[in-house]
Amino acid sequence: MSDTGFFSRLKNGLGKTRNGLIGGIKRIFSTNDTASLEMFEALEESLISADVGVETTLQIVEDMRKRVKAEGIEDASRLYEILKEEMTALLTQSEAGCDWRCEGEPHVMLVAGVNGSGKTTTAGKIAYTLAKEKRAVVLGAADTFRAAAGEQLAIWAERAGAQLVRHQEGADPGAVAYDTVDAGIARKADNVIIDTAGRLHTKVNLMEELKKVHRVIGKRQPGAPHEVLLVLDATTGQNGLQQARQFTQALHVNGIVLTKLDGTAKGGMVIAIHNQLGIPIKLIGVGEGVEDLQPFNARDFVAALFD
Amino acid sequence: MFENLAKRLESVFKNIRGQGRLTEANMREALQQIRNALLEADVNIQVVKKFIADVQEAALGQEVLASIHPGQQIVKIVHDELVKLMGEKNAPLARASKPPTIIMMVGLQGQGKTTSAGKLAVHLKKAGHKSLLVGADVYRPAAIKQLEIVAQQAGAEMFSLGEHADPVETCLMARGEASLRGCDTVILDTAGRLHVDEDMMLEARQIAEQLNPHEILFVANAMTGQDAVNSARQFNAALPLTGVILTQMDGDARGGAAISLIEVTGCPIKFVGVGERLEALEPFHPERMAGQILGMGDIVSLVEKAQQVVDQEKAVQFQKKMRKGDWDLEDFLDHMRQLKKMGNMSDLLQKIPGINKMLPQGMDMAEDDLKHTEAIILSMTLKERRNPNLINGGRRRRIADGSGTSVQDVNALLKEFQKMKLMMKQAMKGGKGKKHGRIPRGPMPPLPGF
């Protein structure tokens, strides 16, 4: 996938104003010369405002305090560099490849998440990007519940030039998934992408249904799905961790797509998710255009978080 | 850390309860805990700061009274402040003095605007209103198609000039269309947009200026974090918002965004979305929400819902039959469907005080059982349902095959049914003239143990 920096896209701004962001973390360190109590309090507030969460925030701030004490750091700008480096290092482990190839068989991807997080759009954009690399892509519309979800994916399939497997509304999503993998194998596709219905992670029945979809895929093609992506909305607060936890328990999620980062939300909850669950963030969504789904870059993400 | 806000506050209060009186020191710890709990519940940090200051002020003023039960006192203070913050009473939808009433749905992408538009139509239909749903989202692929299907499910009219038309134009045309089709309500389903997208915000403003809606409802998801204040503030600055619909309240998000949204927009929350079905929309009750946050349950909503959904006449009929002991599987099926209409079992149970959010994982399974039971009964002929004694071995096999269950399942159901019938009959008989062991005369006979 292409990797033009999303940070510059964000800054240059798509004709959007970003005046909701006065008083970012960077500013705290530039208005304070030395490390002070007020500075730490402001840092704590800013991290919480970015949805990093109370626990993770307190941990970060406590670590910084300890370093200040142990290393005798006084200079605030030096402290800022340290914080930035540490958080970048922490999240760099989260950078992971998005090559999505399998030798001799289709690479199968399953896209899941709660309602409205942007699954169908993400599946469509990934299909588009892969198809542009001259790969043969089969999309599966396993969201048979939401009205017109199939139509929405069909439009994406057409844009991407991908094949689409679709059943009637209300059909068994497992059957759609099976047929999609089947079609992928028969047509010697490079990539198979299966879009699922949005569901709250607390609905036991729906999570069971998702597990079944996963199993059915594996039945048709042993070893598949190779990638299970959880789509998270960047405006989500602390519930994001619960979502990640429950979906991972059901599906062994191995990558996160953080969407809607083009607003004023910072998506700080992925830090806790990465910290506690170790799931890498693979892609971020920074706009509605096809080119606005980009590989995750820790440095850019932290820069945007602090800006 | 991620325990329920209610539980967290409970433990705070327990700590205080153990001590004789409210001192500044134990207040500080409690307030710190309340602060963290509210932050974990995604209430915006600036809002939390203000809230804590209010609570502190209120609490310190009362301290002079040297209360005997400081724990209860602070529960009351926190509860009252939460209610105060969320608006004191449930706010109804505005109606135009001269129809049509125009309702405009706005919000970020993926909040549930289209679904909520359908839910509103269903809600208004119950009050005798006929809605025209207007598809003005020309950006998201198939959004208009989705609204079309939703309108059909909601039993509402639908209008759109299609995805190549100007959304403002579509909305303008809708007014005339409404009177043509005899609709007294117009619900504009606009595209999801970012508050920082100037062009899109301008479009929304144009729609609002041209149509002058009676309600502009900001649709936001209960899982929203700290950023709720940023988006809400800008939407509120661009458009004269009149209310909020909080969606996805059926998950496990603590919904602190509710407090942030009210604080920033100054608008009441008019409805909450509590499920995927179009009936799953409830009025917002600040008292109840505050109670829920503090772990007091929400029995009032449950009772209201039961009254709304259950066909009273049928329920009375069923009770009569049950009393006589001459009810059959057909009645039973009917009864079960009434129960099902009341919604997801776990949703229901969550409203019962004490059970609140502590449900075992197996709860949704009970729903599966209901589905199986329904399938089995539906696989019987009417004759068999009227007279279960007819069902011999051969019929049992056929019913099992037809419903995708096993003969054992069919047997179990029949046995359970007989047992229940007997039990009910005895209970009803025993009830005559005696207070003891009587089945209450409510609209809902109890659900047997399936």
Q: Which of B112, B150, B361 sits opposite A116 (nearest CB)?
A: B112
d(CA A294, CA A284): 5
- CA-nearest of B133, B183, B181, B128 to B153 is B133
Q: Which residues of chain B have pLDDT under 50?
A: 1-5, 63-68, 297-303, 352-365, 431-450
Number of residues assigned to chain A: 307
B3 min Cα distance to partner chain A (Å): 11
Judged by CB atoms closer than 8 Å, whether chains meet at A239 and B223 is answered as: yes
| pTM confidence score | 0.77
Query: For residues A307 and B300, which has the higher predicted lDDT (pLDDT)?
Result: A307
Say which CATH superfamily domain B304-429 falls into: Signal recognition particle, SRP54 subunit, M-domain (1.10.260.30)
Q: Which residue blocks in B294-438 are alpha helix, DSSP H? A: 299-309, 312-324, 329-341, 345-350, 363-378, 382-386, 393-403, 407-431
Q: Which of B112, B139, B225 sits opposite A238 (nearest CB)?
A: B225
Dihedral over Cα of B348, B351, B357, B358: its sign: negative
CB contacts, 8 Å: B276 with chain A: 115, 145
Write down the domain spans for chain B: 3-85, 101-296, 304-429
Average pLDDT over all residues of chain A:
88
The pLDDT, as a whole number, for residue B362 is 43
| Nearest chain A residue (CA) to B198 | A16
Interface check for A235 against chain B (CB to CB < 8 A): the answer is: yes
Cβ atoms < 10 Å from Cβ of A222: 8
Contact A288, A146 (CB under 8 A): no
Window 101-130 of A, Cβ < 8 Å to B: 114-118, 124
Q: Which of A152, A201, A269 sits opposite B141 (nearest CB)?
A: A152
When mean pLDDT is compared across A66-70, A265-269, B306-310, the lowest value belongs to: B306-310
The CATH topology of domain B3-85 is Four Helix Bundle (Hemerythrin (Met), subunit A) (1.20.120)
The domain B101-296 is placed in CATH, from the list 3.40.50.300, 3.20.19.10, 3.40.50.170, 1.20.1250.20, at 3.40.50.300
Judged by CB atoms closer than 8 Å, whether chains meet at A260 and B148 is answered as: no
CB contacts, 8 Å: A305 with chain B: none
d(CA A149, CA B386): 42
Judged by CB atoms closer than 8 Å, whether chains meet at B225 and A152 is answered as: no
Q: What is the pLDDT of residues B367-415, one digit of tens each?
A: 667 788 888 998 999 889 888 888 888 999 999 999 988 999 899 888 8
Q: Which of A45, A117, A239 sits opposite B251 (nearest CB)?
A: A239
Backbone angle region of A159, left / alpha / beta, with phi > 0 → left and psi within -120 to 50 → alpha: alpha
Query: ipTM of the predicted structure?
Result: 0.89
Q: Which of B194, B225, B228 sits opposite A262 (nearest CB)?
A: B194
Judged by CB atoms closer than 8 Å, whether chains meet at B145 and A114 is answered as: no
Contact B357, B6 (CB under 8 A): yes
The pLDDT, as a whole number, for residue B62 is 56
When pLDDT is cut at 50, 70 and 90, the band that residue A21 belongs to is very low
A247 min Cα distance to partner chain B (Å): 14
The pLDDT, as a whole number, for residue A149 is 93
The proportion of chain A whose per-residue pLDDT surpasses 70, expressed as a percent, equals 92
